[in-house]
């Protein structure tokens, strides 16, 4: 279902629910008001009839002897009700036994039944309820009819007493009320239906203009995907709303996708180039072995040595790529106590075998213990050391140091080599990046060493920095937190190389 249709249906359903609640509230309020008016009319009619009886005094009463009970009954005269003439109300008077004594003129010859519950009413009580007579709904009020009687005492005093003479029944037909409520209900239903139809049509038309920019963004994004041209961007609208934020987010996503696509393509090209060189060399050596294996043993051993070297190079590069892939996928590193001063001495001993004519020494050596993966930290320090030795001319100096700085354990490798050009510094930690493009593939590595150093630093919640001056040397520093708290994996890839040329300076050659 299209978004435009869903918006129209959702808004229409919501508006219908709101309109239904509003209609129920209005209908209930009007119904209550009309019924309250009916109750008020019945109360006023009953009061008017009682006033007529009180005004008539003894003339409004009739005395009758009950032979069965042997007592005198005082009954209201039915003729009084003939005076009551209200076109909206009908009245009738009954005796205490339920006998009909009189009724209003508009009742003609009809008689309203008296509910049996009314015979149990006492002084001050009233019964309100609905009755249906010959298909006509009536709202009825019944209450005891009390009359004043003056009694002459033997001592000559006159006493006024209230006597229960019968029941007064006032009723009002509800036909006009029912017609009013029915008309109101029909108007609300028809008006609500028209309102819902107009609302749905209006929302459907207005949603077109609201959804049109989203549709344009979708078509543009689809054209970018189909054309495989990630350099294109979606036009950002001028309005400051959710659509603008969506467009900006899509453009940012396209930018990241473009960067990742170029990175992946460059990575594949670099890997292919790095593997092609040793594979080509191995293929040439195998051809030499095929031709000269029986004639020249020296060539045989030289070819095998070259193949062994190229195989070792390929294995090392594959292992480095595997390590980078594991670090990027969030593989957990070991957590153990590492004495960095002892580790620094081990690295120094191993690098001395590779130093040749380059002077290798240990500078500052603080005692620092951290929590991390000892093998990975050693690998990072070895990568920095080998990189420094390869870029330092014979007679130069490479210094390994361990210091406490700014709350970190700082492992630094300083050399007096050719240095790094400023434009190359931001990229030296990228995979397969070579600052010196003219260097031989056999003389240098595959360009993965510094990338591995950065990943190892990030995995330990640390970072790596570089300070370099062309033709004077470089200083790489591995900053690791000295506390024993394992680094959170969420921060494993947040650190980035930071150039800090003030805190760490390249070492100078000792005289």
User: Which residues, at least 6 apart from 315, have a Cβ–Cβ distance to it below 8 Å?
Assistant: none
| Confidence band of 484 (pLDDT split at 50, 70, 90) | very low
Q: Are residues 319 and 343 in the same domain?
A: no
Out of 326, 347, 378, pick the residue that ends a domain.
326
* Token couple for 163: 């006597």
Angle between helices 242-292 and 297-328 (to 10 degrees): 160
501 pLDDT more than 60: no
Q: What was the pLDDT predicted at 293?
A: 57
**3-state class percentages of the chain: helix first, strand second, coil last, to nearest 5:** 50, 20, 30
Q: Are residues 272 and 336 in the same domain?
A: no
Cα atoms in the 13 Å half-sphere on the side-chain side of 343:
25
| Same-domain status, 97 and 27 | yes
* CATH number, domain containing residue 284: 1.10.287.130
How crowded is residue 84: how many other Cβ atoms within 10 Å of its Cβ?
22
Q: What is the pLDDT of residue 413?
A: 94
Give per-residue pLDDT as tens, 376-412. Answer: 898 889 889 988 998 899 999 999 999 998 889 999 9
In a domain, 303, yes or no: yes
Decide which of 326, 345, 367 is a domain's last residue. 326
Each residue's pLDDT tens digit, 74-94:
677 777 777 887 888 989 888
User: Which domain covers residue 306, as residue numbers?
Assistant: 242-326
Is residue 437 in some structural domain? yes
Report the share of the chain in percent with pLDDT over 70.
78
Domain for residue 213, yes or no? no
Q: Is the pLDDT of residue 70 over 70?
A: no
**Nearest CA-CA partner of 355 in 388, 306, 315, 311:** 388
Q: What is the distance between the alpha carbons of residues 383 and 375, in angstroms, rounded to a whole number?
A: 12
CATH assignment at residue 453:
3.30.565.10
User: How many whole angstroms separate alpha carbon 435 and alpha carbon 428?
Assistant: 7
- Where does the pLDDT of residue 122 fall: very low under 50, low under 70, confident under 90, or very high at 90 and above? confident
Whole-number pLDDT of residue 55: 73
Structural domain total, the chain: 3
Q: Are residues 34 and 70 in the same domain?
A: yes
Per-residue pLDDT at 435 = 58
What pLDDT band is residue 332 in, cutting at 50, 70 and 90?
low
pLDDT (0 to 100) of residue 493: 33
Give yes or no: residues 322 and 392 share one domain. no
In a domain, 264, yes or no: yes
- Residue 336: pLDDT band (50, 70, 90) is confident
Q: Comparing 104-113, 173-182, 189-198, 496-505, which segment has the lowest mean pLDDT?
A: 496-505
Residues 43 and 158 in one domain: yes
**Residue 208: alpha-carbon gap to chain centroid:** 26
Q: Is 183 exposed, middle or buried (0-12, 13-18, 19+ CB in 10 A)?
A: exposed
Q: Is the separation of the CB atoms in 151 and 158 below 8 Å?
A: yes
**How far apart are alpha carbons 441 and 447 in whole angstroms?**
10
User: Can you say whether the dihedral through the CA atoms of 287, 292, 298, 300 is positive or negative?
Assistant: positive
Alpha-carbon distances, residue 477 vs 226, 333, 362, 384 (angstroms):
46, 21, 14, 9
Q: Is 441 among the domain residues?
A: yes
Report residue 164's pLDDT band, with 50, 70 and 90 as the boundaries: confident
pLDDT at 508 exceeding the cut of 80: no
Is the predicted pLDDT of residue 509 greater than 50, yes or no?
no
Instruction: Tell me the pLDDT band of 326, cut-offs 50, 70 and 90.
Output: low
Contact 429, 327 (CB under 8 A): no
Q: Please say if the pLDDT value at position 98 is more than 50.
A: yes
- Distance separating the N- and C-terminal Cα atoms of the chain: 81
| pLDDT tens-place string over residues 405-418 | 888 999 999 999 88
Q: Is residue 223 part of a domain?
A: no
């Amino acid at each position: 279902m299209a978004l435009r249709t869903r918006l129209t249906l959702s808004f229409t359903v919501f508006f219908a629910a709101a309109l239904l609640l509003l209609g129920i509230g209005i209908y209930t309020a009007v119904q209550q008001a009309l019924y309250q008016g009916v109750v008020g009319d019945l109360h006023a009619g009953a009061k008017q009839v009682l006033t007529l009886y009180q005004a008539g005094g003894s003339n409004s009463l009739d005395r009758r002897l009950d032979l069965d009970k042997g007592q005198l009954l005082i009954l209201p005269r039915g003729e009084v009700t003939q005076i009551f003439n209200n076109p909206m109300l009908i009245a009738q008077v009954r005796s205490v036994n339920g006998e009909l004594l009189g009724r209003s003129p508009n009742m003609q010859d009809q008689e309203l039944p008296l509910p049996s519950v009314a015979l149990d009413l006492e002084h001050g009580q009233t019964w309100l309820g609905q009755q249906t007579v010959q298909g006509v709904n009536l709202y009825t009020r019944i209450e005891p009819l009390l009359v004043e009687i003056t009694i002459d005492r033997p001592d000559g005093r006159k006493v006024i007493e209230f006597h229960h003479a019968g029941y007064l029944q006032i009723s009002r037909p509800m036909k006009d009320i029912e017609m009013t409520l029915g008309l109101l209900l029909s108007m609300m239903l028809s008006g609500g239906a028209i309102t819902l139809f107009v609302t749905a049509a209006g929302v459907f038309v207005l949603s077109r203009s609201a959804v049109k920019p989203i549709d344009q963004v979708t078509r543009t994004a689809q054209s970018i995907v189909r054309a495989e041209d990630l350099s294109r961007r979606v036009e950002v609208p001028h309005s400051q709303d959710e659509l603008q934020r969506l467009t900006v987010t899509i453009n940012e996503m396209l930018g990241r996708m473009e960067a990742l696509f170029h990175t992946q393509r460059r990575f594949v090209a670099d890997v292919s180039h790095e593997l092609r060189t040793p594979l080509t060399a191995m293929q040439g050596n195998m051809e030499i072995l095929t031709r000269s294996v029986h004639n020249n043993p020296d060539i045989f051993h030289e070819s095998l040595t070259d193949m062994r070297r190229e195989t070792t190079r390929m294995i090392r590069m594959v292992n480095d790529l595997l390590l980078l892939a594991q670090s990027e996928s969030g593989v957990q590193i070991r957590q153990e106590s590492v004495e960095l001063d002892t580790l620094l001495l081990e690295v120094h001993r191993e690098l001395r075998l590779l130093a040749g004519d380059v002077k290798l020494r240990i500078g500052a050596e603080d005692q620092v213990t951290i929590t991390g993966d000892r093998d990975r930290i050693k690998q990072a320090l070895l990568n920095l050391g080998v990189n420094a030795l390869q870029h330092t001319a014979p007679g130069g100096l490479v210094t390994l140091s361990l210091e406490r700085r700014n709350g970190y354990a700082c492992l630094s490798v300083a050399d007096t080599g050719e240095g790094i050009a400023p434009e190359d510094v931001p990229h030296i930690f990228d995979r397969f990046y070579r600052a010196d493009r003219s260097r031989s593939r056999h003389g240098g590595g595959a360009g993965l060493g510094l990338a591995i150093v950065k990943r190892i630093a990030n995995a330990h919640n640390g970072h790596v920095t570089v300070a370099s001056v062309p033709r004077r040397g470089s200083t790489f520093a591995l900053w690791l937190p000295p506390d024993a708290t394992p680094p959170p994996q969420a921060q494993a890839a947040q650190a980035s190389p930071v150039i800090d040329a003030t805190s760490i300076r390249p070492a100078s050659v000792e005289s």
